[in-house]
Amino acid sequence: MALPRFFPETKIHQFNYNPRYYDAQKEEVSRRYDEIKKEMGEPGTEDIRLIQKGTFRRRFERQRKDARQSSLRIFVTAIILGLIVYFVNRYFGFF
């Protein structure tokens, strides 16, 4: 007769390892095909996103605005926590 256990028995971990097939010839053909498309002037997989005028400036301004808002949020939170600690100390005298 088996005694009841408080903790379940650990099971053996099994891993589902599926080796991937690497075809060097196919990789070389694909690389060469992309090079030929690039030479012919067709947009390849890397040239999809275009840089537009003013993109960097807008990104910089957005980052600066986000940083400013973050600083303001931290400042307001610190003031609110400070007021809470002040009133708790004043009325209950914990500190």
Say which DSSP state 41 is in.
T
The structural domains of the chain, with segments of one domain joined by +, span 55-95
Max Cα separation, the chain? 80
pLDDT digits (tens, 9 = 90+) for 25-59: 998 999 999 888 888 876 555 545 566 777 788 88
Q: Say what the pLDDT of residue 75 is.
A: 94
Using an 8 Å Cβ cutoff, are 38 and 44 in contact? yes
Predicted pLDDT of residue 46: 54
Specify whether the CB–CB gap between 37 and 44 falls below 8 A. yes
Residues 68, 74 contacting (CB under 8 angstroms): no
